[in-house]
Amino acid sequence: MFKTWQSITLWKRVLIGLVLGVAIGLGLREGLGVEQAAEIGDTWILPWGDAFVRLIKMLIVPLIVTTLVAGVTAMGDPKKLGSLGLRTICLYFLTTFFAVSMGLAMGTALQPGAGVTYDAALDDNVGKVKEKIETAREKDFADRMLEIIPENPVEAMSEGAVLPMIFFSILIGIGILVAGKPADPVRAFFDAAAEVVMKITMLVMELAPFGVLALMAWVMATRGFEVLSNLMWLAIALYATCLLQIIFVYGLLIIRVVLNLPMKQFFRGIADAQGVAFSTASSSATLPVSISCAQKNLGVDKSVAGSVLPLGATINMDGTAIYLGLVALFAAQAAGIDVTMTQYLLVAVMATLVSIGAAGIPSAGLLLAATVLDVVGIDEEQTLLVIAFIFPFDRLLDMMRTATNVSGDIAVACAVAKWEGELDTDVFRSEAEL
Ligand code: ASP
């Protein structure tokens, strides 16, 4: 039994977990009623999902540090980092540009906010959301830039602050390269450590099907699908645009047309990461899985996977950008405001900036929507109402945008790896591992 289970490729097992989780959650809801299902979900199912999330989160710091240091030393020439960084940032902007444009087009075509009233935004909900918004608010841009340089790298690691960790690890890598021979033991240490942490990641991934099952069962048992009825058109617009972005922009445009690689292998290779992103709604938590998918399934070298993906999990959020544009149009339509061309442009710019600033954690995108809503003339009070109205249903939307965010990160990692000569196309094309 165990052998048969193990012989099924991981992404298929994750998919089985996902489908079973949905079925179990919905079954509980049908069988026991909404309240009891929610209670069972919270008390008996969620802890299993949380245990899995903790296990992968545990790997974020060791994985970024070891992979990135080993990656930079393997690259051999620190100058290569410049072109790698530039290509990555340009592609991240480009994919987000496509995302926002499609989101706005879809929001205009489907009119998700037309006729919506916010009766369901209960008062206590508004209060709760207000608090959450305060804590989620972005810091000053200058502060955030400064924080990339960690005063204390150990503190940055203990806080799981990704950008400072990237900064520090790159410097260690450069230090090892510049030091040359005397640093050989340190280089060997990081090489070996990166291997060890990757092995642990793969072990933890064996639990992914069960973690995904528990998380999906919990989401469905506590929320069901009916919650979406109020927001049906917003959900349809978001899911449709995200799917278009994943299939056409990442699959067809980047992988097939630009890189001339097979789409099928790409989607198989990222399926584990998509499954985990979908069920956790957190691109940060999914990071170890994205790194392992990129390296092991798609042949992206660790120098690229270790740098491009952590950066992507922090700043590249195409699904979130799509969503922010849609929420702005949703609110404008519900309020009967006609959005001008200039406002469209401003929404696009703001949605991009906010998506860059949002953390890769559940609901971060929605809680930061205020800036974007401001552009279309929604005042503060109304903004709170919109966010409070959507918040209880946000998880189901968040799952899709997080899966999109993560897919975009990996597609860009493949592109940068190919251009830098750091993509093993044999691994990418091979189906042996999949
Ligand atoms: N949950 C998303 C992520 O982790 C961010 C968002 O709320 O849009 O990527």
pLDDT tens, residue by residue, 60-117:
999 999 999 998 998 888 788 888 999 999 999 999 999 999 999 999 999 998 888 8
Q: From 242, 398, 410, give the residue whose CB has the most ligand 1 atoms within 8 Å, as the site to mutate.
A: 398
- Phi first, then psi: give them for residue 78, nearest 5 degrees: -60, -25
What pLDDT is attached to residue 80? 84
> In sequence order, what are the beta bridge partners of 300?
423
41 Cβ inside 6 Å of ligand 1: no
This prediction has a pTM of: 0.91
Predicted pLDDT of residue 227: 63
pLDDT for position 122 = 65
Task: Please give the pLDDT value at position 126.
Answer: 79
* Ligand 1 mutation target, pool 405, 406, 410, most atoms within 8 A of CB: 405
Number of the ligand 1 atom closest to the C-alpha atom of 364: 7
Q: What is the DSSP letter of 230?
A: G
> CB of 401 closer than 6 A to ligand 1?
yes
Q: Domains, the chain, ranges and CATH? A: 2-429 (1.10.3860.10)
Q: Is the CB of 402 under 6 A from ligand 1?
A: yes
Q: What is the pLDDT of residue 147?
A: 82
Residues of the chain with pLDDT under 50: 434
Q: What is the pLDDT of residue 162?
A: 86
Question: Are 182 and 193 spatial neighbours (Cβ–Cβ below 8 Å)?
Answer: no
Q: What pLDDT, on a 0 to 100 scale, did the predictor assign at position 359?
A: 86
Query: What are the helix (H) ranges across 281-363?
Result: 283-292, 302-315, 318-334, 341-357
Return the pLDDT at 127.
Answer: 78
166-198 pLDDT, tens digit each: 999 999 999 999 999 999 999 999 999 999 999
Query: In degrees rounded to 5, what are phi and psi of residue 121?
Result: -80, 90
In testing the pocket of ligand 1, which one of 60, 138, 282, 407 has its CB within 8 Å of the most ligand atoms?
282
Q: What is the reported pLDDT for 237?
A: 96
Cβ of 405 less than 6 Å from ligand 1: yes
Dihedral sign for Cα 397, 376, 129, 119, please: negative
Element (H, E) at 210: helix 208-223
Burial class (CB in 10 A: 0-12, 13-18, 19+), 315: buried
pLDDT of residue 140: 62
Residue 123 confidence (pLDDT): 66
d(Cα 241, Cα 118) in Å, to the nearest integer? 24
Instruction: Please indicate whether residue 357, judged by its CB atom, sits closer than 6 Å to ligand 1.
Output: no
Per-residue HEC secondary structure of the chain comes to CHHHHHHCCHHHHHHHHHHHHHHHHHHHHHHHCHHHHHHHHHHHHHHHHHHHHHHHHHHHHHHHHHHHHHHHHHHCCCCHHHHHHHHHHHHHHHHHHHHHHHHHHHHHHHCCCCCCCCCCCCHHHHHHHHHHHHHHCCCCHHHHHHCCCCCCHHHHHHHCCHHHHHHHHHHHHHHHHHHCHHHHHHHHHHHHHHHHHHHHHHHHHCCHHHHHHHHHHHHHHHHCCHHHHHHHHHHHHHHHHHHHHHHHHHHHHHHHHHCCCCHHHHHHHHHHHHHHHHHHCCHHHHHHHHHHHHHHHCCECHHHHHHHHHHHHHHCCHHHHHHHHHHHHHHHHHCCCCCCHHHHHHHHHHHHHHHHHCCCCCCHHHHCCHHHHHHCCCCHHHHHHHHHHHHHHHHHHHHHHHHHHHHHHHHHHHHHHHHCCCECHHHHHCCCCC
Ligand 1 pocket residue status of 263, Cβ below 6 Å: no
Cβ neighbors of 76 (< 8 A, separation 6 or more) are 177
| pLDDT computed for residue 120 by the predictor | 66
